[in-house]
Amino acid sequence: MKKPIVLFVILGIIALVIIGSIISGNEEKTRQKEFKQNEIATYNDVNYSITKVERTNGKEYFEASGGKEYIVVTIKIENKSEEKISYNALDWKMADGTGDENSYAVWGNDNDTDLSSGDLNAGGTKTGTIAFEIPKGDNDLTLKYYETILSSERAFEFDITD
């Protein structure tokens, strides 16, 4: 008598796990991952937006390599969740028109504006810049956000149209 009840309980648990994974998989597929430069991307109750994009050849000792320039993106992060979150400039990459994904670059700016890394309390806002060295004049740019520097799949991306 106990065996059929235990068997039904185990089968019920397995069915709930399968249904839960299907539902969460469908939510991931329907979540918007591509945004225009002037849109707000919401990921895990955190809003990400681009407030400014500028191009520069660099400063004094930090000039861009031959045939390249820096694109400096100002990013605003608003933590709408109820938990502290971590942010890191290394979580962002810039894909250029050649298909390369570039990590952030040091370009000699005022360090007070760098996004850098840190924690952001619930309800907090952080604004900072990230620079990338790209081919000069490249207009086929996509800013990609990865949940961590170890993630292989981007969480979302912005089409940069500066």
| Interval 134-155: pLDDT, tens | 999 999 999 999 998 888 899 9
26, pLDDT greater than 50 = no
Convert the pLDDT of each residue in 101-113 to its tens digit: 999 887 766 667 8
Dist CA 6 CA 97 (whole Å): 58
First-to-final CA distance of the chain: 71
Q: Identify the three-state secondary structure at position 86.
A: strand
- The H-or-E segment that residue 68 falls in is strand 68-79
Dihedral, CA of residue 125, residue 160, residue 93 and residue 151, to nearest 10: 80
Between residues 151 and 28, the one the model is more confident about: 151
Place of tokens 């840190």: 118
- Stretch 83-107: mean pLDDT, rounded? 93
